[in-house]
Structure 1
Amino acid sequence: MGNSMVACSGHGERLVTAAREGDVAEVQKLLQINPGLARYSTFGLLNSPLHLASARGHHEVVALLLENGADANSRNIYGQTPLMQACRDGNWQVVQRLLVYRSNVDKVEGLGNKTALHFAAAGGHVRCIRLLVSDFGSATSTGISISSKKEATDTKHNSELCNFINKPAGGGVTALHMAAMNGHYECVHLLADLNANISAQTLPYASSPMGSIGAGSTPLHFAASGGNAKCCQILIDRGASRLARNCNRWLPLDVATIWGCHWLEQILSPHSVLMVPRFPPSGYLCLPLSSVLDIARECGMQSNSSCEDIDNADNDVCPVCLYRSCDVAAEGCEHELCIRCAFNLCSTMRSNDSLAPPGTMPCPLCRASIQAFRKLPSLQPKKPDLNPCLSSGSDKPLVACRTEYRRNSSSVVPSEAVTSVPCTSISSSAVVS
């Protein structure tokens, strides 16, 4: 009943179009009419408005849909979540929003058993990888010593992170395999420093995604087929063996020869005298990102006040955006930022300081190393929404929402207009991203 009502009124089609095109004003208008529209996922190939906005990178639309109760873990007909589609296209700002609403990073899609991490690695989206692993706390940097109080918790997080990083997709292909094959050396570097299994082999009885590489291949075999010298050097520096053979008895050198990557012969030859450069820890390791994510989940990404309210508030204006009030302080230097700027800096900034502890972020004001952020006393936890349409529990709140919508529909659309609208099915082509 609810789905047919949406199709008849046209609000569902309008929301799909607005979400796909990033029309924030139209999305806001439709959700004010009926917030329950955000939760529908019956359009086309089961792509919800959240799927479409995530795939196109419309993070403001994504925020509106999530605030109105859209399911961050909904799946389309292929089993893909909005997080997977955002990672596939490198939309890191969308990934931020989805993680704040606790999108599950462990979910796998139905075609190739890939996680969001596989999509990000295949596309070379290192910022998305950095965000995905931030859900595992301080385990996101292996080079930082941990305190005794947190030793048990961080050991558990390290184990969970290791399982997540090395989770195989179809054929036993890991995220490191995908990044290596496509020549994304920054992703290879970050994954290797996150304890990705350098020696992981694809399944011996299944063909690899690229048949000429061979089953039972390691990430170095995949890097050899991709032809990127830096990927090969990073893997060798992190312990990959040039002598590893796949099920065809091929060395990585043999794969490079088959794929015509002759410039890799000196690097991959088991008898090479060429010195492989030493690589420092990846600049995309980011310890403070997990603390900012926790604060954003607790308090939201909106500051309590803008510059118009600063005169009446205790907080200073954020020195980065010069608009929002400060919400968090860097542990150590104590410089204050708004939550959104801190989140964006942790998501995008790359540390190039080889003398700084691995995983720390340079303060944008004094360049001191930041290991974590803490929230200021003025930043209050976000209040639970009492709107029944936004409930993530049973379907009963949605029924109430639809009932109220029908009760108030006469104030939105004239009754004679409602009776004249034909009940047409929603076109699948309208929702393909």
Structure 2
Amino acid sequence: MRSLNLVGNTFGCSASGERLVSAARDGDFQEAKALLEYNPRLAKYATFGGRNSPLHHSAAQGHHEIVSLLIESGVDINLKNYRGQTALMQACQYGHWEVVLTLVLFKANIHKTDCLNGGTALHLAALNGHACCIRILLADYIPSISSFYKLVKKKSRFQEFVSESNDGTSLHEIINRPADGGVTALHMAALNGHVDSLCLLLDLGASVNEVTLEDGATIDLIGAGSTPLHYAAYGGNPHCCQILIARGASLTAENEKGWSPLEVARLWHREWLEEVLSAHQQDRTITLPSPYLSLPLMSVVKIARECGWTSDSLSNCTDPCPVCLENKCTVAASGCLHELCTRCALYLCSTSNTSSAAHAPPGSIACPLCRHSIVSFKKLTTTKPQLQLLKQNSSLSCCSCSSMPRIDTPTMQQRIPLSKKKPASQSLNFHKFTTLKLDNNLCLRGTDTIASIVRRSHINRYPRSSFRWSSSHVKGRRSWLCTSNQSVESPGDY
């Protein structure tokens, strides 16, 4: 009988959890909401065998509404899956910026590293070229001040403004944090030819002189001591090489194998880089500020955390948000003082990728109503803080059966109509099946490339990179440094 109770208890824990996992994966918000209203502890459910939780599934698929619903139900926002990745890492890997924004608003930890390669969410965003995710990740580290770009460029008094945040980590440390083998986010963006991410990282203080290390499990065919320019030469993107050179990358730097960036290009037959990596061509390009830099983001994120980012009702509002016409105005733009709702302000700061006006500070966002440059947002006097802040509960590997009802009547027939809402006072029911009285003590717990170069003569005649990779075990296991459509090659492949 004890064995029978154990089996029944396991089924009771997993049946609803599996339904929630399927709903999170498929984006079925009504199904997920109904299940969580019935048992909020299902948000902490993780399938047996160490697979992804509902939070990881919804983050990987880009279902930000379900992510928000799961967090409000008490799931650990920094829970790791079987690969050691958090939901934030998976959202950055697939470029779901709305999920990233939701997790950042709930203060997800951006410093968590995976168990395989020591990479953070920033490394994964740079690896796949998701510049929008990069700027949202760093929203708490880029102050909403008009002089930010000048301070980074001149590197004077920079640390005075952005040296430390609430967690005591500086922006410089985050941007240049090495993963396995000393690889930084700039190395990854340069290798895979992501110009927009490369420019943004450089504008935020990424160092062009960081080198890789010899130790580490990541296979590095280029060699230890390689700079981002070595990686860009290996990747074969001339735009990345030009930008790095214009930002001070050395053309003569040699790695521990004695290879310069030009020799790396020759070894892997990137003939179109010969002219770009020649010393006499290093002063012919001028770079522009990245249009993905968003200065107002920090100010509106702080307001959203304090006062929320949704409006309950417009019944008493005579002047709704002029952009969405759905929510109350809660913030005002600096300068022009046009009023918007917090949700529209967040969307504007997260999606804008157009250059500001000629005389506007780099990183400012154009007002959608008058095109005036916005550097920060301020809270309206009528905007009140939230009465009750969301509380994060500790994580569990499986849902607790203590909140599951005991079913003593085997003839009970129950269903969940998901097509329309049920009042909170009504219980949610499941399909009929043979029931067992469960013993709680036996529960098993188990993007588009930007035009960043003003003068780039001869670029159009360069052919596209022939960057290909081999899948054989002899040439090395699949490197996490490369995007999903690439694998590793060696000079001997030619």
TM normalised by structure 1 equals: 0.86
Is 1:363 aligned to 2:373, yes or no?
no
**Cα distance, 1:15 vs. partner?**
0.2
Match of 1:249 among 254, 258, 276: 258
- Provide Cα deviations, 1:335-355, integer angstroms capped at 9, x if missing partner: 111111110110110231343
Larger radius of gyration: 2
- Amino acid across the alignment from 2:435: V
CA spacing shift, 1:93–1:378, aligned 2, 3 Å: same
Equivalence for 1:322: 325
In the alignment, the residues of structure 2 paired with residue 137 and residue 378 of structure 1 have an alpha-carbon distance, to the nearest angstrom, of: 27
> How far apart in 1 are the matches of 2:233 and 2:239?
11
Does the C-alpha gap of structure 1 residues 165 and 414 become closer, same or farther in structure 2, counting only changes over 3 Å?
closer
The AA in structure 2 aligned to 1:352 is S
Aligned partners of 1:196, 1:335: CA distance in 2, in Å? Answer: 34
Which residue of structure 1 aligns with residue 164 of structure 2?
156
Cα distance per residue 1:25-49 (max 9 Å; x no partner): 1001101100111122344424210
Query: 1:333 maps to what in 2?
Result: 336
Counterpart pick for 2:290 among 265, 270, 282: 282
Higher helix share: 1
Give, in angstroms, the shift of residue 313 of structure 1.
2.1
Is the CA contact (8 Å cut-off) linking 2:79 and 2:395 kept in structure 1?
Answer: no
1:175 aligns with 2:185: yes
* Equivalence for 2:305: 297
Partner of 2:388: 384
The structural deviation recorded for 1:139 is 7.8
RMSD: 3.1
The CA deviation at 1:294 is 1.1
Does 1:346 pair with 2:349?
yes
SS of residue paired to 1:278: coil
Q: After superposition, what is the alpha-carbon deviation per residue over 1:40-83, rounded to whole angstroms, capped at 9, x for unaligned? A: 23444242100010001011111111111121100112211000
What residue number does 1:403 align with?
402
| Counterpart residue type for residue 342 of structure 1 | A
Distance 2:218 2:202 in 1: 21
Cα distance, 1:127 vs structure 2: 0.2
Check the 8 A contact 2:43/2:75 in 1, yes or no: yes
> Match for residue 264 of structure 1?
273
Separation of aligned partners in 2, 1:196 and 1:321? 37
1:206: how far off? Answer: 5.0
* Maintained 8 Å contact 1:59/1:97: yes
Could you tell me whether the CA contact under 8 Å between 1:142 and 1:193 is conserved in 2?
no
User: Is the contact between residue 18 and residue 47 of structure 2 (CA under 8 Å) also seen in structure 1?
Assistant: no
Q: Partner letter of residue 95 of structure 1? A: V
Indicate which of 403, 418, 436 corresponds to 1:419: 436
- Listed one character per residue, the Cα deviations across residues 393-417 of structure 1 (whole Å, up to 9, x for unaligned) are 598xx86xx5343269986358974
| Counterpart amino acid of residue 182 in structure 2 | G
Give me the whole-angstrom Cα distance separating, in 2, the residues matched to 1:195 and 1:391.
33
Deviation at 1:156, TM superposition (A): 2.7
Alignment of 1:74-223 (within 5 A): 74-138=79-143, 142-144=148-150, 152=160, 154-157=162-165, 160-205=170-215, 209-211=219-221, 213-223=222-232
The change in CA–CA distance for 1:221 and 1:407 in structure 2 (over 3 A counts) is: same
1:307-361, Cα deviation, whole Å (9 max, x unpaired): xx2xx225x2212222222111111111111111110110110231343211211
What residue ranges of structure 2 are gaps of 5+ in the alignment?
153-157, 413-426, 446-494
Percent of paired sites with the same residue: 47
One of 60, 70, 81 as aligned partner of 2:65: 60
* Letter matched to residue 156 of structure 1: E
Q: 1:139 to 1:257 in 2, by over 3 A?
A: farther
- Matched positions, count: 408
Counterpart of 2:317 in structure 1 is 313
Matching residue's letter, 1:318: C
SS at match of 1:135: coil
- Please state how far the C-alpha of 1:153 moved relative to its aligned partner: 5.5
TM-score relative to the length of structure 2 = 0.76
CA contact (8 A) 2:144 2:297 kept: no
CA distance in 1, matches of 2:251, 2:39: 60
Q: What secondary structure is seen at the aligned counterpart in 2 of 1:359?
A: coil
- Alpha-carbon separation, structure 1, partners of 2:6 and 2:140: 36
Contact 1:181 1:225 in 2 (8 A): yes
Could you say what secondary structure the match of 1:29 adopts?
helix
Shift of 1:297: 1.4
The whole-number CA distance in structure 2 between the counterparts of 1:244 and 1:102 is 40
